[in-house]
Structure 1
Amino acid sequence: MKNFGIACPDFFREEIRNDYLVPAAMKRAWACQLDLLKELLRVCDKYNLKCWADYGTLLGAVRHKGYIPWDDDIDMVMLREDYDKLVEIADKELKHPYFLQTIYSDKHYNHRHAQLRNSDTAAIPEGDFRRKYNQGIFVDIFILDSYPKAIKYSYRMVRKVKLYRVLLKLAIRLMNLLPDGLYQRWRLDSKVFRKYENVLRKNRLEDTEFVAAISFNFRQKIRDKAWYAETLWVDFEHMKMPVPIGYDRILTLDFGPDYMTPVQAPTLHGGLIFDTEKSYKLLRKELRHGKMK
């Protein structure tokens, strides 16, 4: 069994946290995600890039000093400029099995944010095993884009963003109908996505007081950029996690003023089939042929 650099055998045993049973299989997936996080933090430290825990991972870091017991992933967030730098250096800096998955690096991937994957593992959404994108265990990396202070400019930007989202969906549907050769030659989806990202890049961070996770639908909440002016390092399982100085304001915005009171909720990813011992390619093949044990 892979230990992903975690020397303590107890970590991999099932346990009850907040009256919730965390199975051993989930612990193994957590271990892989923590290893991915270490690699992300290594690269960020080397290139002086900033990243922070976000959403459920931020809540887990503050409230549980680790994972929320019923969570199944790690959410990180970066400012646009640092995110773009990470995408630029990924091929040079990340070695197998680590893979930074974006719409540019994986022709079958169509999310608007990045995922750092371990290609020797599997995290396959139930019923999604026929898709061809890299389906290794992952860490989500979201983007904070500058948000215009003036209402008229913010309205224009949001209108353009919504337009390009519609165009991107249409491009993806069209590309999925084409054979691989034509798909690779045209890549209409990535061309539309570049224009979409260029709209988001037009607002400079120094010219605004606000940022927003515009690239992901459920978190279009505007945040004060001062909340990210400094980084705190807090306990998270057996390591340290970077969190923004304004974590209390962010968590209150996302979860309400009683965020320190645990409320069990389903993960946003739904059912994922995890395997830390098999690659997604092997597991996907077994699922297609009904050979999964």
Structure 2
Amino acid sequence: MEFDKTTQDALKLIHEGNHIIFREVGRVCEKYHLNYFLDSGNLIGAVREKSDIPWDDDADIAMTRKDFEVFRKVARTELKDGFVYVEPDELNGAFYDFVPRVVMLDSTMRENNAEQKYYGNGIHNHMRTDIFIVDDVSDNMLKHKFCHALLILVYGMCMGRRYKLDLSEYKGASKAVVAILSVIGRIFPVKTLVHWYDAISKMERGQNKKHKRCYYSNCLFPDLGKIYQAKWFDHAVDLEVDGEKFPGPCGYHEALTMLYGDYMTPPPPGDRELVHCDPKFVTLSYSEKGEKNS
């Protein structure tokens, strides 16, 4: 689909903001000898377009568990003024997902309505980068399936802390299970549920020595069961985005194929939609030189 000028201008600001956050995360990672990788749409854009996907309005990176645990310890003190690191349990008792984020405060993505304020007083209503965590898959598949089932259980319990739970998105038995789990989950504080999820995600650490497999432990529910090879995330390779270099996983082709199939073919025009922003409200006033943009 063709976007009007307001939407095109908004997307240009979002892509500029994403790159600013990537550079800031990269600065911290370089200091502590950590790797981060472009992920999801940002990775596809770098590989397929050598740019941002024109209609992509969010930012995603991935880290291995080892590197992420270091990053989460230092991010609050190392990130420059204007950036904040937000854990999934820091939304004033609300639950959005299990994704930690680096947020750039001098920006907006949509109207700061009641739904936005529900999640940590609008902390998500800024340009932000989601961090997906690559965890080990045990050589014992029974253990992995057990952990997978526990993650789904906790995920369902957390849904009771969403601003709105639309059960029409679920079908058959899944609808009943989610409805029941969401009610049970309201018994427990979100911090407890997030702590459980984090602990379960780590239960297989170091147990993949034979088959060397891994998975995204905090990805969206439909993709939680996909298994990758750890060697695809062994080191970073430079990928070009608008003439600038950003890191991607060394096995980006295999990882993207596992996640999307034929990722080199763009979706039909009717499926090219904005998901995370309202162009009328998109702003960016942060400057990497410490000055506000006009």
- Which category of TM-score, normalised to the shorter sequence, fits these structures? 0.7 to 0.9
- Equivalent residue for 2:203? 202
Deviation (angstroms), 1:199: 1.1
Deviation (angstroms), 1:125: 6.9
AA in 2 matched with 1:46: K
- Equivalent residue for 1:58? 43
Distance change (3 Å), C-alpha of 1:34 and 1:277: closer
User: Please, which runs of 5 or more residues in structure 2 have no aligned partner?
Assistant: 164-186, 287-294
- The equivalent position to 1:266 in structure 2, one of 258, 269, 272, is 272
The answer to whether the aligner puts 1:37 opposite 2:44 as a matched pair is: no
Q: Is the 8 Å Cα contact of residues 99 and 116 (structure 1) preserved in structure 2?
A: yes
- Equivalent residue for 2:184? none
Distance change (3 Å), C-alpha of 1:71 and 1:234: same
Structure 1 stretch displaced more, 111-120 or 21-30: 21-30
AA in 1 matched with 2:266: P
Over aligned residue pairs, what C-alpha RMSD do you find?
Answer: 2.8
Question: Between the two proteins, what is the percent identity of the paired residues?
Answer: 24
- Equivalent residue for 1:121? 107
- Equivalent residue for 1:110? 96
- Equivalent residue for 1:47? 32
Normalization by structure 2: what TM-score? Answer: 0.75
AA in 1 matched with 2:205: R
Question: After the TM superposition, which residues 31-180 of structure 1 pair with which residues of structure 2 at under 5 Å, given as runs?
Answer: 31-107=16-92, 108=94, 110-124=96-110, 128-131=115-118, 132-134=121-123, 135-170=125-160, 172=161
- Equivalent residue for 2:246? 241
Distance change (3 Å), C-alpha of 1:261 and 1:169: closer
Question: Residues 41-97 of structure 1, C-alpha deviation per residue, up to 9 Å, x if partnerless?
Answer: 111111111111111111111110111111112211111222122111121112321
SS of residue matched to 1:70:
coil
- Equivalent residue for 1:232? 237
Cα distance in 1 between the residues matched to 2:148 and 2:116 = 34
Cα distance in 2 between the residues matched to 1:203 and 1:28 = 40
Normalization by structure 1: what TM-score? Answer: 0.76
Deviation (angstroms), 1:236: 0.9
AA in 2 matched with 1:137: M
User: Please, which runs of 5 or more residues in structure 1 have no aligned partner?
Assistant: 1-17, 175-185, 280-293
AA in 2 matched with 1:261: T
AA in 2 matched with 1:156: F
Distance change (3 Å), C-alpha of 1:68 and 1:45: same
The answer to whether the aligner puts 1:218 opposite 2:222 as a matched pair is: yes
Q: Is the 8 Å Cα contact of residues 102 and 109 (structure 1) preserved in structure 2?
A: no
- Equivalent residue for 1:252? 257
Q: Is the 8 Å Cα contact of residues 78 and 144 (structure 1) preserved in structure 2?
A: yes
Question: Residues 102-146 of structure 1, C-alpha deviation per residue, up to 9 Å, x if partnerless?
Answer: 124443563201121111211237863443230211112111111
Deviation (angstroms), 1:206: 5.9
Distance change (3 Å), C-alpha of 1:25 and 1:167: closer
- Equivalent residue for 1:28? 13
Question: Residues 164-218 of structure 1, C-alpha deviation per residue, up to 9 Å, x if partnerless?
Answer: 2233334x369xxxxxxxxxxx981112211211111121146341111121223
SS of residue matched to 1:124:
coil
Q: Is the 8 Å Cα contact of residues 233 and 251 (structure 2) preserved in structure 1?
A: yes
